[in-house]
Amino acid sequence: MSDIKVTLPDGSSRDLKEGATVHDLAASIGAGLAKAAIAGKIDGTLVDLATPLHDGAPVEIITEKSPEALEIIRHSTSHLMAQAVQILFPKAKVTIGPAIENGFYYDFDVDAPFGPEDLEKIEKKMAELAKAGLKIERQVLARSEAVKLFREMGESYKVELIEALDAETVSLYRQGDFVDLCRGPHLPSTSWCKAFKLTSIAGAYWRGDEKNKMLQRIYGTAFADKKELEAYLARLEEAKRRDHRKLGRELDLFSFSDEVGAGLVIWHPKGAMLRTILEDFERKEHLRRGYDIVLGPQILKTELWQRSGHYDNYRENMYFTEIEGQSYGVKPMNCLSHMMIYKSHLRSYRDLPLRFFELGTVHRHERAGVLHGLLRVRGFTQDDAHILCTPEQLDGEIKGVISFVNDVMGIFGFEYDMELSTRPEKSIGSDEDWDRATSALLGALQDSGRPFEINEGDGAFYGPKIDIKLRDALDRKWQCATIQCDFTLPERFELTYVDANGEKKRPVMVHRVILGAIERFIGVLIEHFAGNFPVWLAPVQAVVVTVTDSQIPYAQQVFDELRGAGVRIQKDFRNEKLGFKIREAQLQKIPYMLVIGDKEVESATVTPRFRDGSNLAAMQPIEFADYMANEVKSFH
């Protein structure tokens, strides 16, 4: 047999016999690598260890330490779970089971919903199958043969998937008696699945369509070793403790009601105060950066949404109504009103850039299954702005927004990552305009000196965008800020300015948000701070607490003085034990408690107690007000 030559990542080459596999290559390098190998990469494509090599191919051996390993481990573990389910529930039909960001899931068609006790049984069976070390083998069949195989097995969902494929052959994976339709790659055997945990159960419609049957989805996670798994599960428990829905109830910030409607937030006094603090902060920051505050209507004629392209590209996310025979669209975005403001006057190049800022409430139709507390709602307010500028000003305006984002994220203590999202398949505008817009964003990102990634095909339908994903205290990523560059809507709405030569030119529009949806950002803040908001953000900054009823007159005087000085303060003069009242204030995560006893009455002072139990020295109430004002200033 003739030899073949392959290239390794370090640039060296290796001669092998024709027909040699990825595993053979690993073995030729060393016994240790052969033992550690779980997959390979040929010509940049992930493959199984049993995949034959071809002459001239660049090849990489994948081990558990490789960046690509986790997805392979999780995908193989999802198959292990499906196998365990079908052993325990023989009538269960399997559908799809991909690896996802934090683990994997698999959807099943079963007669009765799974319960928590079923997860324990499935996990136990998975452990048995892993210990058995079943070999995982790939098989390629003609599409017709695969359809026949799965039809005989009664796996109607697999048949539907295969029949929808535009391919002559399909690949299957077998482990023991279990067989599944899959592209792969997979681990060499089930023994490599050694650190996994099933985490939750949910309902999911087949193919995400509410018209289809509701399936049972089991979520799980998997890692290369148990230490990583335990660390992840600890973070998961911490995330549950910080869940903004739980803390929102406990801190009495907001609620939802079926009587009102799904995805519609009801803000309680403390939640509304928190939101007001954020909105006031936003107005101040925008005004000092040269933005003008504007406000547009909640509904606009449907003809405008047709003209903008929203009707053709976004109407499934919109609500519509009719008034006196005229169709209107409830706004999902604020850009149309801002363009109408621009059009209300003849504009000169000397007027530009114009920066229109609106805390605009919008409504979007989100499916009930994706609604999630404040993080995914149907009605929300964006810190939305649209910058209209000349093409020559575009670079500076994009960099100005990047700087704005950096300043604000620093105030809240967030690290963040950036992505450039490019033209999606469903879009409007010319190739030339998309190229100009993408180049503008790319150039500003490169000049920023910060690392960024390219997210192909995930731009808005009217232009590419920079997505800023902040990282919270648990290192989870949240999409909040975005910067979108748009040459298309100014063209559709015939926006113009007069240049230095008296000629009409087309401005460029930058759509941008800094915090994004206020609701979502508050949800992220609650979880980031675990409800322990810094003093400047806390809806209640201090509470005056009495030891006995005899201190109420002085305590009321302290309350009135501090409230008059601008401190957000509450009082607790109830006839309860002091320890009980202190504990309640701690559970409400109020930054400061002012306990008023006989000593404080006699000296006309307060002794501030921080929520962690530490105390400040006794001081006059006005001194405490000054102290609070300075603490607030130190944050922003």
- Which positions are catalytic? 335, 364, 382, 384, 386, 465, 511
Q: In this structure, are residues 467 and 482 in contact, taking their beta carbons and an 8 Å threshold? A: yes
Place of tokens 């949800």: 523
Q: How far apart are CA 62 and CA 73, in angstroms?
A: 11
The two tokens of residue 520 are 């979502």
Q: In this structure, are residues 350 and 335 in contact, taking their beta carbons and an 8 Å threshold? A: no
Q: Three-state SS for 547?
A: coil
Q: In this structure, are residues 270 and 568 in contact, taking their beta carbons and an 8 Å threshold? A: no
What is the DSSP track for 375-430? TB-SEEEEEEEEEEE-GGGHHHHHHHHHHHHHHHHHHHT-EEEEEEE---SS--S-
Beta carbons within 8 Å of 45's beta carbon, 6+ residues apart: none
Can you say whether the dihedral through the CA atoms of 222, 228, 233, 236 is positive or negative?
negative
Q: In this structure, are residues 378 and 371 in contact, taking their beta carbons and an 8 Å threshold? A: yes
Determine the distance from the C-alpha atom of residue 351 to the mean position of all C-alpha atoms in its chain, rounded to a whole number. 37
15: how many CB neighbours lie within 10 A of its CB? 10
Supply φ then ψ for residue 352, to 5 degrees: -95, 150
396: how many CB neighbours lie within 10 A of its CB? 11
Q: How far apart are CA 547 and CA 581, in angstroms?
A: 9
Q: How far apart are CA 574 and CA 572, in angstroms?
A: 6
Q: Three-state SS for 604?
A: coil
232: how many CB neighbours lie within 10 A of its CB? 18
Beta carbons within 8 Å of 488's beta carbon, 6+ residues apart: 309, 428, 429, 430, 433, 462, 463
